[in-house]
Structure 1
C-alpha cells in the first residue's frame, strides 16, 4: 500500500514508522526544512513542500496513492489537504487528524474526510475507560455513515450479566461486535454468556438510543 502523509511532526513520523515496519510505501510532505533531518524515518520518501498546494500533492504522486493522512498540527491545513486529495486527485481513503475537538464537525465527507482521528477525543475516551465501569463510552466515530463505536465494561450486578448474547436485545441500530474478556477477544456467539468485567464493543448507528443502552448495561438498583 502506498501512503502519503502531510505533516512530518511527531505524529506524522510515528505513523510513518509504523507503516514502514509493516512493509508499506510512505511519502512524507512537510514545509519545514528541519523536518527533513529526521533520520528515524530515513526509509520514507521526503518532499519539502506545502501540502496545501495542488502542485506539491501532484509532485508527491498523490494521484496514485491508496491513502493520504493529513497529520499536521493545523486543522485548517488538514481540511485543505483532505479536500484537495479527494476532489482533485480522487484518493480512495483520506484520514485526517483533528487537533481541536471543537472542529470535529467539519471533518466529514463534505471536506473529503473518510476518517477523522481526534487525539484529544481518543485520550478522553481512554481516561473515561480507566475510571468508569458500567458507563457507555464512545471511542470512535465513522462520520461518513453516522456510525460510532462504543465500549462498556459490565459492572458487578449489571442486569444483563449472565445473559446469553441471544437473549440480549440492544434495540434498533445497535449490535454487539465483540466481547473482550481477560484481555482476549471473544466472538459474540449466540450462546456465549456475558459476565461482570466483560468489555463489550458495540456498533451504533444514528437510530440507536445511547441512553436506553446505558440503562440496559447499568448495575441493577440496590435493594432498599
Structure 2
C-alpha cells in the first residue's frame, strides 16, 4: 500500500512512523523549511517531499498516481480540503482522509469535496467525555463520517449479566456488530458460540440508538 501524507507536523510525522512500522510505503509532503530537515532525519530524503500539498506537480512528484490513500493533516483546513479535492477528482485516489482543525468547518468535509473520512479531534474528544459520563461500560473510540455510527469499546466487569453467556444469547441489537473480543493478550473473532468472560474488552460498531442497549446488556447486574 502507498500512502501520501500532507503535513509533516506532529500529527503527520506520528502517522508516518506508525504506517512505516506496519510496512506501508509513505511519502510526506511538507512546505515549511524548518520542518523538512527534521523530517529527513526522522525518515529519509526519499520519503520527504518539499512543497505544497495543493500543488499537482508536488503531488505527482510524491507518486499520487499510484497512491492508495491520501492523508491531509496540516493545521489549515483550507489546505486539507483543497488537497483532498485534487487527490480525489484530479488523480482518482481511492481513499482520502482529512483532518478537521476547526469544528465550525466540519460541514465542508464532504464526499463532494473529495473527503472519505473526516477526523474531527475536538468532536471526538467531546463525545468521549459525554459518553463516559452517560455510559457505565461503553466508551466511544471514533465517530464515523457516514451515518450515525461509532466504533466503541465495552469493558466487561465482574458481575456483568453478560458473563458466561454465548454472544448469540445476548440479544445484540440489529444495528450493532461485534468486531473483536480482547482477552488478555489474545484477539478473538466473535462468533455466536463465543462465551463472554470477566475483564474482556469488546470492540464493536454501533449506531447511537443501540448504545444504551449495549450498555444495558453488559452492565453489572
TM over 0.5: yes
Q: Which residue of 2 aligns with 1:174?
A: 176
Deviation at 1:85, TM superposition (A): 0.8
SS of the equivalent of 1:209 reads helix
Counterpart contact for 2:27–2:49, Cα < 8 Å: yes
Q: Which residue of 1 aligns with 2:95?
A: 93
TM-score (norm 2): 0.81
The CA distance in 1 between the partners of 2:106 and 2:160, in whole Å, is 33
Q: Which residue of 1 aligns with 2:55?
A: 53
Size of the alignment, in residue pairs?
219
Counterpart contact for 2:131–2:140, Cα < 8 Å: no
- Is 1:33 the counterpart of 2:30? The answer is no
- More displaced stretch, 15-24 vs 90-99: 15-24
The CA distance in 2 between the partners of 1:212 and 1:126, in whole Å, is 18
SS of the equivalent of 2:81 reads helix
- More displaced stretch, 167-176 vs 24-33: 24-33
Question: Which deviations, in whole Å up to 9, do the C-alpha atoms of 1:131-163 show, x marking residues without a partner?
Answer: 998432221233246543111112333232222
Shift in alpha-carbon separation, 1:43–1:128, aligned structure 2, 3 A:
farther
Shift in alpha-carbon separation, 1:102–1:219, aligned structure 2, 3 A:
farther
Stretches of structure 1 that go unaligned for 5 or more consecutive residues are none
- More displaced stretch, 169-178 vs 196-205: 196-205
Stretches of structure 2 that go unaligned for 5 or more consecutive residues are none
Shift in alpha-carbon separation, 1:144–1:62, aligned structure 2, 3 A:
farther
